[in-house]
Chain A
Amino acid sequence: MLRNFLLAALSLVLVACGEPAATTAPAAATSAAGLEGRVQLDGSSTVFPISEAVAEEFGAVAPRVRVTVGISGTGGGFKKFIHEEIDISSSSRPIKSSEMEDAAAAGVEFIELPVAYDGISVVVNLENDWVDYLTVAELNQIWQPDSTVTTWSDVRTEWPAEPIQLYGPGTDSGTFDYFTGVINGKEQASRGDFTASEDDNVLVQGIAGDKYSLGYFGFAYYHENQDKLRAAAVLGPNGVVAPTVETINNGTYAPLSRPVFIYLNKASLARPEVAAFVDFYIRSAAKLAEEVGYIALPDVVYERVLQRIAKAETGTAYHASPGKVSTLIVN
């Protein structure tokens, strides 16, 4: 639902101001091999594998450009971005309004570029044979801050009267922000009595070893561990849908699919090595994102994104308040 809103809003916004795209892309692609300089990225650990893959491939095209990628978390990345310590900030959620205000105060203009989808997967133990699907309302009932759910039978009476063991990402994670925003209606609003870890592999281990467990984390961690745990389908606006590469890509896995982004400092775009890198990033994002466990955006979105770069369109098409899409902030 949210995802569709986001996508629709993005497309609208891009169509509205994108008309016949004046392409500057060929200029950037001409002689990458001769480029020199540095491109600095930092931010979300979720987006890191994609950026790493792009940096690796870009190294083959433009060997004299030094691309570095750091992991400071989404919030930490934006701080560095606003201090202009880096060219590109990677983010597992849309920029927050407070961050936009800080950027405006510092005179930093940014270009927002969605690069891939992640589908937050709700997972249970392999021996769990009762959960067929969960509704958004049930997820909310389980995870809301003042939840009274302590056993599986509290969720649906026909389920076992066994204590439900909950696992989830730590509160600094963008996945936590997005999940709580969509399911509980307010970012960071969640019950606190669950096993939290910043390391998703710890969550995988925990859920795989506990028959009565339930947890959530990024699709890549579920995809790699399908032999150890099972994803519960989610009843959303498109019916009961399980997270797969197809359902996330075509938008039917809702509302737990989310886009991940890179944010580019408009001033950095003037440097040819940065322009070439960003162009390369968007053109190879679909293929490389899937190689590292994420899901490509629809092709049409990548085309629109390239137009945004070509026109150096600043501002965000998303607003971080969940379930709603604010107006695009034009300049």
Chain B
Amino acid sequence: MSYWKRAALAAACAASLFAMNQVQAADWLMLQGTEPADASARAKVWGFIQAQYQKDYSKPCEYAPCTGQYIPPMLIGPDLTSQSAFNVIRARIGVRGTGMPLDNRVNYFFLAEFGNNGITHPGNAFAKVTDASITLSYIKGARIRAGLFKTPGSEESFQGIATFQYNNFTEVTNQMLLERFPNHDGADNQNLFKPAQGGVLGANQNGFKNSVSAVRDVGVEVFDSFLIGGWDHSYAVMIGNGNGLNFSDNNSNKDVYAYWSSEKVYGGKGPFRQGWKFFGWYQTGKRQLDRTNDNIYNPETHTRTRYGIGTEYLKKPWRVTAEYMRGRGMIFVGPDKPSFDQNGTSAPGGDGADGRAEGWYVEGGWFIPRTNWELDLRYDYYNRLKGDKLESHWKTVTLGAQYHLNKKTRVSLNYAIRRVNSPNFSGPGPGGNPNNLMDQIGNRVSLQLTHIF
């Protein structure tokens, strides 16, 4: 049995053991979409800052024709110009509350990003609005939220990022759920993949003109939550542009989202409420993509579908989460050009526009009793372009340790052990072979300081 299989089995066993005892989870629909009844501020200012250092231990390709080249997973994002970097990856400030405190049926949520990441890096934006929504709670059982906000989906992407236990997303969330929007002209980003050296600029691998979706959309959502017999049941149905953080739509097609969760509540409140949650979600929509590198905008329409199920158990000192997700269409395979099929001369290839993918992860945390320390362990697997000749497997074990300086401040150290390969190709060797690059993807260490205010 390989190391990776043993690690996965161990993680699964640990998860099942933890699940028999205790866990925590939160109702993100209500936490993000509503305010405490008759107990909210007119305008509560809040936000968080995350300062980070990352170092990547990948090595460049050793065989022609890619000798000396790097691919994005080997470089530190969002700039993708070096293998070690300090970065203010998130700096968000917002305001939320009830505009007219006497009427708790209307509340709002506004948040903007000032950090350096996939939201602000495209177009060198100084700041970007990530949330701007109004919730109407006039109909019992059918609250209405309109504007820009997080779409209901996987626990990892739906949860408040400031409370996320790891410094980086799993590969399935990063690659399959965080949607990239291709430029209309597919001619960008064809430089060689190299970090910046000796004053020479590195590869322009991140030339997207639009922000990453940040799992948000502009639209209308109907949702609510019901506490019945110690169980918190919640649902959401949403229709949106399917165009991420962009305020308007880029085509006439609309995305549809559905979400359900049921959680046995053990106690507590807010993002650290303890309970055992089960959830499922589904999203589908259409995208237009120009796949011809001819400087003429002649897009085709493709379907993008994502769905998944999962469970999260949180009861201190233990936390366990497991999710399984699948995707079809618009499978992101890299920022080259950027496109979804990467059929350019410097790209590995593969049909992402109509491709398939799936992934899952199991993670657990242990809050060491009577200390401020927390230990985390995560295994994640991602099968990109499943069934395609250029299918690739991404397996990552992340070891984490967190020290909580206080309730609002923590330091997180992560060490990610990464293994990537294309199973339909032989091992690294002379000649064109995606494993010449994938086999060189190495481990990564990251240190992050988070402060919520």
Tell me if chain B binds chain A. no
